[in-house]
Chain A
Amino acid sequence: MRDYPADEASREEVPIQASGDVVKARQTVRLLAQQAGLSLVNQTKLVTAASELGRNTLIYGGGGTVEAVVVRDVARVGVWVRFADAGPGIPDMELALTDGWTSGSGMGLGLSGARRLVDEFELDSTPGVGTTVTVLKWAR
Chain B
Amino acid sequence: MDSDDSKRLLELLSARRAELIAQWEQTVAASLHGRLSTVELGRELSELYDAITEALAAGGLAGRGPEYGVVRSLLVELSRNRARQGFTPTETAVSVFSLKEVLESLLGGSVEEIRAYLQFSHLLDDLGLFTVEEYARTREEIISAQSQQLLELSTPVVKLWDGVVGVPLVGTLDSARTQVVMEKLLQALLDSNSTHAIIDITGVPAVDTQVAQHLLKTVVAARMMGAECVISGIRPQIAQTIVGLGIEFGDIPTKATLADALRHALVEIDKAASTRAAGLL
Contacts and interface: CB of A to CB of B under 8 A. Distances in A.
Contacts of A130: none
Given A43-B237, A45-B241, A110 B246 contact: no
B172 A113 contact: no
A116 B174 contact: no
Nearest to A55: B210
Chain A residues touching B, majority SS: helix
B172 A48 contact: no
B130 to A, nearest CB: 30
Contact of A45 (B209, B210, B240): B240
B90 interface: no
A118 to B, nearest CB: 9
Scoring B175, B246, B247 by chain A CB atoms within 10 A of each residue's CB, the highest score goes to B246
Interface in B146-160: none
A125 interface: no
Interface in A14-67: 19, 23, 26, 30, 40-41, 43-45, 47-48, 51-52, 55
Interface string A107-121: 101101110110000
Contact of B209 (A19, A23, A44, A110): A110
A15 B237 CA distance: 28
A51 B208 contact: yes
B109 interface: no
Q: How many B residues are at the interface, by size bracket?
A: 20 to 34
Contacts of B236: 41
B58 interface: no
A99 to B, nearest CB: 6
B211 to A, nearest CB: 9
B206 A47 contact: yes
Given A23-B172, A106-B213, A117-B241, A44 B246 contact: no
- For A47, A48, A116, which residue has the most chain B Cβ atoms within 10 angstroms? A48
Nearest to A41: B237
Nearest to A99: B246
A109 B244 contact: no
A43 B245 CA distance: 14
A109 B172 contact: no
30 contacts: A40-B237, A41-B236, A41-B240, A44-B205, A44-B238, A44-B240, A45-B237, A45-B240, A45-B244, A47-B205, A47-B206, A48-B208, A48-B244, A51-B206, A51-B208, A52-B209, A55-B210, A99-B246, A106-B209, A107-B209, A107-B247, A109-B245, A109-B246, A109-B247, A110-B209, A112-B246, A113-B244, A113-B246, A116-B244, A116-B246
Interface of B: 172, 174-175, 205-210, 212-213, 236-238, 240-241, 244-247
